[in-house]
């Protein structure tokens, strides 16, 4: 094949890649999908700062956030303003989390997974399969005119979402998680936001001088063979499986992630021998449900921003195949 | 085995398989699985749960039930065929009873549900936060919503989390 023909083919391929996007954008659901795209890119590419409230289980917490996107990537700082001092700082794939009860910071380094400032077509189609996407009403949040985008779950295994984004930039200013009764399970909303412009780099520095660092990270090791999640709820596919370390844990933990490309469920499997106080049962906070049960000599912890039934079904179908 | 549970629940096992399987259900581990499956079904259907100790109380009352001593009837003459039929009928009845008990045993699963519900464990944030932090890194919601969902990672745990 001549180089010229190759070049032409590449053009045709490029055009083909964009055609489905254009076709989607023209349909009503496509408007919703286009908005999801806009929200996903804005979250990563726009500089912004502001104050937001997190509301869950009848409690409210106020936080301040600074986000900078520059030639070196993404840098963020989130600081909780009420209650015990807590802070999260992101520098690309490294997240440092300051929590007073640890008297230390936890450093999480991401591996094997790159954040990408856009939703891939495969992600969008999975979201479309599991949620009905439609545009909602306009709303004013923190002084900005916002477009509501509704994600209505097609079954009971996932929560609904109402995303409200600045109509000009696409920055998400209010996000509500809804249960099957359409009640708000948890919610974030900005009370003040500055979108765009420069942010003083000093704003991204930690306020807490902590000497003690605890590191946790994914390791270059596959999960132990034999572990099986037999019947994850429909639409949840395994997107990641790795061993990882946790601070203070003697043994490495198996970590599997299942996702419908919007919500995710993590399954952590670790030897009971390494756990001081094994627990068994269900726990929740806002949209996060945690289900723990022993399986043989192991403890299985399942958690995610999904209804209790989803973590339970996944947890109950974890089994270890005999070798 | 778990596949068989769902097959039995969906009525996909033939009689012989079902019999073998019901035998295996005597194993307490299997029975828990069986109940868990029903539990999931009940949760999905939003069926109200039978009280937690239903099976225990049922067995208790059954053992306490007085044995009724009724005067025996004069022996009737049965043809061998009738006997065989009635034997088959009793077998069927036994089958029915077993099934019914298993069925009521299933709402025992809501016992587990109830257990799971009352067994609302309180997890210390120190225990959960590292998991949440690891989880968030791979959740697509972060790609979509940015940093704000990370607040869940450090959000204060307020007493019992029972909803």
Across the interface, whether the CB atoms of A285 and B122 are under 8 A apart is answered no
Residue A88 is nearest to which of B39, B144, B153, comparing CB atoms?
Answer: B153
Same domain for B150 and B91?
no
List Cβ neighbours of A18 (8 Å cut-off, separation of 6 or more): none
pLDDT (tens digit per residue) in A55-87: 998 899 999 999 999 999 899 999 999 988 889
pLDDT of residue A247: 82
pLDDT surpasses 70 at A2: no
Which of A204, A239, A267 terminates a domain? The answer is: A204
Domain containing A277 equals: 218-320
Distance separating alpha carbons of residues A219 and B131, to the nearest angstrom = 15
Specify if A212 maps to a domain: no
Specify if B46 maps to a domain: yes
Same domain for A200 and A225?
no
Average pLDDT value for residue range B11-19: 76
pLDDT (tens digit per residue) in A240-251: 999 998 888 888
Distance separating alpha carbons of residues A24 and B87, to the nearest angstrom = 67
The structural domain count of chain B equals: 2
Provide the pLDDT confidence category of residue B162 given band limits of 50, 70 and 90: very low
pLDDT surpasses 90 at A316: yes
pLDDT (tens digit per residue) in A95-136: 888 876 666 778 888 764 555 667 888 889 999 999 999 999
Same domain for A162 and A116?
yes
C-alpha pair distances (Å), A177 with each of A125, A143, A164, A182, B100? 21, 22, 12, 9, 40
Looking at CA atoms only, how far is residue B111 from chain A in angstroms? Answer: 13
pLDDT surpasses 80 at B66: no
Domain containing B19 equals: 2-65+81-118
Average pLDDT value for residue range A198-213: 84
Same domain for A146 and A227?
no
Same domain for A26 and A118?
yes
Same domain for B85 and B144?
no
Across the interface, whether the CB atoms of B147 and A90 are under 8 A apart is answered yes
Q: Which of B7, B151, B153, B158 to probe by mutation at the A interface, max A CB count within 10 Å?
A: B151
Count of Cβ atoms closer than 10 Å to residue B78 Cβ? 11
pLDDT (tens digit per residue) in B121-157: 777 777 788 899 889 888 888 778 887 888 888 877 6
Chain A residues within an 8 Å CB radius of B163: 57, 284
pLDDT surpasses 80 at B46: no
Looking at CA atoms only, how far is residue A29 from chain B in angstroms? Answer: 18
Q: Is A208 on the interface with B (CB under 8 A)?
A: no
**Which strand (E) or helix (H) includes residue A231?**
none
Looking at CA atoms only, how far is residue A161 from chain B in angstroms? Answer: 11
In chain B, the residue whose alpha carbon lies closest to the alpha carbon of A47 is B146
Dihedral (CA of B7, B11, B17, B21) sign: positive
Looking at CA atoms only, how far is residue B40 from chain A in angstroms? Answer: 7
Count of Cβ atoms closer than 10 Å to residue B86 Cβ? 12
Same domain for B53 and B89?
yes
Specify if B76 maps to a domain: no
Specify if A9 maps to a domain: no
Higher pLDDT, B118 or A263: A263
Across the interface, whether the CB atoms of A115 and B2 are under 8 A apart is answered no
Higher pLDDT, A32 or B38: A32
The structural domain count of chain A equals: 2
pLDDT of residue B71: 56
CB burial of A252-288 (b: ≥16 within 10 Å; e: otherwise) equals bbbbbbbbbbbbbbbbbbbbeebbeeebebbbbbbbb
pLDDT of residue A185: 95
Higher pLDDT, A217 or B49: A217
Distance separating alpha carbons of residues B21 and B9, to the nearest angstrom = 11
C-alpha pair distances (Å), A260 with each of A159, A238, B11, B130, B147? 11, 9, 30, 23, 20
| CATH at A155 | 2.50.20.10
Distance separating alpha carbons of residues B15 and B95, to the nearest angstrom = 11
Looking at CA atoms only, how far is residue B116 from chain A in angstroms? Answer: 5
Token pair for A37: 């795209």
| pTM check: above 0.80 | no
List Cβ neighbours of A286 (8 Å cut-off, separation of 6 or more): A54, A56, A57, A177, A185, A186, B152, B155
Interface of A with B in 158-187 (CB under 8 A): 163, 172, 175, 186
Residue A101 is nearest to which of B126, B141, B147, comparing CB atoms?
Answer: B126
Same domain for B34 and B94?
yes
Strand A160-166 and strand A227-229: pairing?
Answer: unpaired
Q: Give the whole-number percent of chain A exceeding pLDDT 70.
A: 86
Across the interface, whether the CB atoms of A266 and B158 are under 8 A apart is answered no
Average pLDDT value for residue range A274-295: 88
Q: Which of A42, A54, A285, A307 to probe by mutation at the B interface, max B CB count within 10 Å?
A: A285
Helices assigned H by DSSP within A27-94:
28-45
Nearest Cα residue to A41 out of A92, A147, A148, A117: A117
Cβ atoms of residues A234 and A155 within 8 Å:
yes
Residue A181 CA to its chain's centroid (Å): 23
Specify if A141 maps to a domain: yes
Across the interface, whether the CB atoms of B134 and A61 are under 8 A apart is answered no
């Amino acid at each position: 094949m001549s180089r010229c023909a190759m070049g032409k083919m590449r053009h045709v391929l490029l055009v083909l890649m964009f055609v489905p996007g254009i076709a989607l954008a023209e349909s009503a659901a496509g408007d919703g999908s286009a908005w999801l795209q806009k929200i996903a890119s804005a979250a990563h590419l726009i500089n912004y700062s502001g104050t937001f409230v997190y509301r869950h289980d009848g409690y409210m917490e106020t936080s301040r956030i600074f986000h900078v996107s520059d030639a070196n990537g993404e840098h963020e700082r989130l600081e909780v303003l009420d209650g015990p001092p807590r802070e999260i700082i992101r520098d690309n794939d490294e997240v440092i989390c300051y929590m007073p009860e640890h008297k230390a910071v936890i450093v999480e380094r991401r591996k094997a997974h790159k954040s990408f400032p856009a939703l891939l077509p495969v992600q969008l189609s999975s979201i479309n399969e599991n949620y009905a996407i439609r545009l909602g009403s306009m709303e004013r949040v923190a002084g900005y005119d916002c477009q509501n985008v509704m994600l209505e779950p097609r079954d009971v295994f996932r929560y609904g979402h109402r995303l409200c984004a600045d109509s000009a930039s696409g920055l998400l200013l209010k996000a509500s998680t809804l249960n099957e009764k359409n009640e708000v399970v948890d919610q974030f909303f900005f009370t003040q936001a500055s979108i765009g412009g420069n942010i003083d780099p000093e704003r991204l520095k930690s306020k807490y001088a902590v000497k003690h660092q605890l590191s946790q990270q994914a390791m270059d090791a596959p999960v132990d063979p034999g572990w099986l999640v037999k019947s994850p709820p429909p639409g949840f596919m395994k997107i990641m499986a790795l061993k990882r370390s946790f601070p203070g844990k003697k043994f490495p933990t198996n970590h599997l992630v299942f996702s419908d490309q919007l919500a995710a469920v993590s399954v952590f499997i670790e030897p009971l021998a390494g756990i001081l106080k094994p627990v068994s049962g269900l726990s929740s906070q806002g949209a996060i449900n945690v289900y723990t049960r022993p399986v043989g000599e192991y403890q299985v912890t399942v958690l995610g921003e999904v209804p209790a039934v989803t973590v339970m079904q996944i947890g109950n179908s974890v089994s270890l195949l005999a070798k | 085995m778990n596949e068989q549970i769902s097959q039995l629940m969906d009525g996909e096992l033939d009689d012989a398989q079902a019999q073998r399987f019901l035998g295996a259900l005597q194993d307490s581990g299997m029975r828990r699985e069986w109940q868990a499956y029903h539990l999931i079904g009940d949760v999905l259907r939003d069926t109200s749960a039978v009280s937690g100790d239903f099976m225990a109380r049922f067995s208790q009352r059954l053992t306490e039930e007085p044995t009724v001593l009724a005067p025996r009837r004069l022996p009737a003459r049965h043809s061998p065929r009738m006997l065989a039929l009635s034997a088959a009928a009793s077998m069927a009845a036994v089958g029915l009873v077993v099934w019914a008990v298993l069925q009521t045993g299933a709402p025992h699963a809501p016992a587990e549900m109830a257990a799971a519900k009352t067994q609302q464990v309180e997890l210390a944030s120190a225990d959960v936060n590292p998991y949440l932090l690891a989880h968030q890194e791979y959740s697509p919601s972060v790609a979509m919503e940015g940093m704000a969902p990370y607040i869940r990672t450090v959000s204060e745990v307020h007493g019992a989390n029972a909803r």
